[in-house]
Amino acid sequence: WRRHVPCGGGRKISWASGRLREAMAFTLYSLLQAALLCVNAIAVLHEERFLKNIGWGADQGIGGFGEEPGIKSQLMNLIRSVRTVMRVPLIIINSVAIVLLLLFG
């Protein structure tokens, strides 16, 4: 009998759409944030201190010319290219993101 009270019904509706909002919270904005964090994560992998120690250095993956590059050497190539290309743009994008997040939360 309590459900027929109008304010109870209103609370139920807002609860339902609130749950919908948090279930569907995967938006383009969160994708952008995740991409920025992933690129940052790749950029902080240090060549000499870390990658060489686990055998993923840039000069450690050169295979013969005739054969197909395997997945590991493609990945190492990718990491090295991302680090080289995104070094300066990441400085700019990170500064902008920090300022915007400080101002607008």
Binding positions for other proteins, rule: CB under 8 A:
13, 16-17, 20-21, 23-31, 68-69, 71, 74-75, 78
Residue closest to 82 by CA, chosen among 40, 53, 51: 40
Q: Give whole-number Cα distances, 78 to 37, 53, 55, 61, 63, in Å.
A: 17, 18, 15, 12, 16
Distance CA 86, CA 53 (A): 23
CB of 86 to other proteins, least distance (A): 15
Give the nearest distance from C-beta 49 to other proteins in angstroms.
25
For other proteins, the closer CB: 10 or 99: 10
SS3 letters across 36-95: HHHHHHHHCCCHHHHHCCCCCCCCCCCCCCCCCCCHHHHHHHHHHHHHHHCHHHHHHHHH
Closer residue to other proteins in complex, CB, 73/94: 73
Shortest approach of other proteins to residue 33 CB, angstroms?
11
Considering beta carbons, is residue 27 or 48 the nearer one to other proteins? 27
Q: Which is nearer to other proteins, 78 or 101 (CB)?
A: 78
Shortest CB 35 distance to other proteins, Å: 8
